[in-house]
Amino acid sequence: MNQKTARIISTPRRAGLTALIGAFFCTVLSTLAVADDALATVNGVAITRAHLDAYKVGRTSATTTDKTLLDEMINLEVMAQEAKAKGFAERPAIAAEIENQRRSTLANALVRQLLTDQPVTDEEVKEAYQKRLDELPKQDYRLSNLVTDDELLADTLREEMAKGAKFEDLKTRPGVKPNSAKLNWMSPDQMPPPIAAAVKNLKTGEVAAAPVRTPAGWHVLAVDETRPYTPPTLEAVKDQIKPILENNRITLHIQAAKEKANINVSLP
């Protein structure tokens, strides 16, 4: 399962503090460990195979050995025991961080289990792909795009372009911005919405009925060329679709759980 999906409801944490928090958990849980299960002990506190396997989760380096990771965990345990002896665990901010880590760990474990019990199927991915295809535009466009901060100049440029004036000549007019250009192929969903709305029904050679306002300025638009839109294949995008469906599934589960929970919020 995609690790990003598994952490959908986790919160950002500082790496060093997170490691120490993990070591605090190791210290607490190790009191229940059977001696024969210990890979190492630090002042009598066991680090077990289960601890090491959990510590591996999310590690990106396949070359990191168990021995190297165990050495890291021993270092963390040594530091965690010193921090605990100095009362760090009783400090409100640290105690809250530990509780947040516990909360996140349990929630992410539930996410993994839910997606194991109710996995997103190939058929669901295919249905989502087809639905998206039906929503996509049918054409790509190449546009001539004149940009100015002057609305009156934009009106003048549009009138002249509609009468056949060449883009190259209009682009050199005073007040026309340097970012004016003939644009590469784009589909409407790649354009700013006001521009997409202005050109979606135009044919090759036609000029938008009015200048379009965006944060970049006033745009005078003409369609230079159109072609049928070629969507990506299901095979090319299925690995992008599946995590989205997984996220949606977990979001629905959270919403249902919140509806059943007794939640009181005092933060204004």
> Quick check: pTM over 0.85?
no
- Give pLDDT, residue 74: 97
Cβ neighbours for 114, distance < 8 A, ≥ 6 positions apart: 249, 250, 253
pLDDT tens string 111-125: 999 999 999 999 999
- Give pLDDT, residue 4: 35
Contact 188, 196 (CB under 8 A): yes
pLDDT average per 10 residues of sequence, the chain (268 residues): 36 44 50 67 95 85 85 96 95 96 95 97 97 90 97 97 95 96 93 94 95 97 94 94 97 97 95
- Give pLDDT, residue 230: 87
Measured between alpha carbons, how far is 47 from 35 in angstroms, rounded to an integer?
10
User: What phi and psi values does residue 148 have, to the nearest 5 degrees?
Assistant: -150, 155
User: What phi and psi values does residue 212 have, to the nearest 5 degrees?
Assistant: -115, 130
Q: How many CA atoms lie within 13 A of 256 on its CB side?
A: 6
- Domains for the chain: give ranges and CATH numbers: 3-117 (no CATH), 136-228 (3.10.50.40)
Contact 203, 135 (CB under 8 A): no
pLDDT tens string 167-181: 999 999 999 999 999
Contact 199, 208 (CB under 8 A): yes
Measured between alpha carbons, how far is 241 from 20 in angstroms, rounded to an integer?
36
Measured between alpha carbons, how far is 124 from 241 in angstroms, rounded to an integer?
10
- Give pLDDT, residue 31: 47
